[in-house]
C-alpha cells in the first residue's frame, strides 16, 4: 500500500523536524519540509503531496493562507493549517481555502494524528455515512449522538474533551439561537473565574473539529450553531 505523502510548510526548523519525526512514526511519507511561499509552490510541482501541513505565519514570506490560495489555483491539495493564532479574522481568511483541519500550537502528538486522520477521511469518497437515524444531523456530514454525547463525521468518531463536548451540547440545545459569551462561561465554568481567552480558545477548538462555517461567532456578544445540510 502506498504511503500518504505530506508536505510540511513551517518556518520554525525545530518544529518542522519534530512534526516530520512524528509523521514518519505514524507511517506517513514526508515529501519535503519548506519554510516559505516560493519553496512550497516549487515542492508541490516537484512531488505532489496528498496533504499539506501549512503554518499560517511564515517569516519573511507570504503567509500560509496566501500560499494555500496560490497552490489551489493550479492543483487541489487538502490543507491542514498549523497556527498559534485563533482570532476570528485569521480563521475567516483560512475558511476561504476550505481546509480539512486547523490545529492550534502547541499541539500534542495525538492531536496531530487524529486531525490528519480526520482530514484524510474527509477527502476519501469511499467513506460513506452509516449513522443511525436517531443521531442529530449537524450538517455537512457531522452528526451528534445526544444520548451518548459523541460527535461523528460520517462514520468516523471525533474525540471531544469534556468542555468541548459541553460547549457543543449547549449550542445544539440552543437550536440555532445565539448563546451569549457570558452565559457560556457560566454554564461551562460555573464556579470559576476564567481568563477571557479561555472561552475563545475553547470555541476555536470546537470549530476546528467541525466545519468552521457550522459555528458562527458574533463579535463581543456570543455564538451559535448553524445546521447545514
Express each pLDDT in 179-220 by its tens digit: 999 999 999 999 888 887 899 889 988 988 888 889 999 989
Q: Measure the N-to-C terminal CA separation of the chain; round to a whole number of Å.
A: 34
Domains of the chain and CATH, by start: 5-123 (3.40.50.2300), 139-225 (1.10.10.10)
Q: Using an 8 Å Cβ cutoff, are 19 and 112 in contact?
A: yes
Smallest CA-to-CA distance from 47 within 9, 7, 81 is with 7
Instruction: Please give the average per-residue pLDDT across 59-83, as a whole number.
Output: 94
How many angstroms separate the CA atoms of 212 and 204, rounded? 9
Instruction: Please give the average per-residue pLDDT across 122-126, as a whole number.
Output: 77
How many angstroms separate the CA atoms of 205 and 73, rounded? 29
Model pTM above 0.85: no
Smallest CA-to-CA distance from 53 within 22, 93, 74 is with 22
In this prediction, residue 222 has a pLDDT band, given cuts at 50, 70 and 90, of very high
* 159 Rama sector, left if φ>0, alpha if ψ -120 to 50, beta otherwise: beta
- pLDDT mean across residues, the chain: 90
Instruction: Please give the average per-residue pLDDT across 20-41, as a whole number.
Output: 96
In this prediction, residue 1 has a pLDDT band, given cuts at 50, 70 and 90, of low
How many angstroms separate the CA atoms of 67 and 132, rounded? 40
Express each pLDDT in 132-155 by its tens digit: 767 899 998 899 998 889 999 988
Amino acid at each position: 500500500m502506498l504511503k500518504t505523502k505530506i508536505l510540511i510548510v513551517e518556518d520554525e526548523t525545530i518544529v518542522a523536524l519534530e512534526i516530520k519525526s512524528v509523521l514518519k512514526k505514524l507511517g506517513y511519507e514526508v515529501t519535503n519540509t519548506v519554510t516559505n511561499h516560493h519553496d512550497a509552490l516549487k515542492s508541490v510541482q516537484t512531488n505532489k503531496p496528498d496533504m499539506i501541513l501549512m503554518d499560517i505565519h511564515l517569516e519573511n514570506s507570504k503567509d500560509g493562507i496566501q500560499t494555500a490560495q496560490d497552490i489551489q489555483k493550479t492543483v487541489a491539495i487538502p490543507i491542514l493549517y498549523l497556527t498559534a493564532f485563533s482570532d476570528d479574522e485569521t480563521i475567516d481568511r483560512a475558511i476561504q481555502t476550505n481546509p480539512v483541519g486547523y490545529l492550534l500550537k502547541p499541539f500534542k502528538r495525538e492531536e496531530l494524528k487524529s486531525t490528519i486522520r480526520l482530514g484524510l477521511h474527509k477527502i476519501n469518497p469511499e467513506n460513506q455515512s452509516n449513522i443511525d437515524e436517531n443521531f442529530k444531523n449537524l450538517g455537512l456530514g457531522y452528526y451528534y449522538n445526544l444520548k451518548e454525547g459523541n460527535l461523528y463525521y460520517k462514520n468516523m468518531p471525533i474525540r471531544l474533551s469534556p468542555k468541548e463536548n459541553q460547549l457543543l451540547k449547549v449550542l445544539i440545545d440552543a437550536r440555532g439561537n445565539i448563546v451569549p459569551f457570558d452565559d457560556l462561561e457560566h454554564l461551562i465554568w460555573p464556579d470559576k473565574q476564567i481568563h477571557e481567552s479561555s472561552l475563545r480558545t475553547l470555541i476555536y477548538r470546537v470549530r476546528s473539529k467541525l466545519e468552521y462555517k457550522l459555528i458562527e461567532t458574533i463579535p463581543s456578544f456570543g455564538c451559535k450553531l448553524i445546521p447545514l445540510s
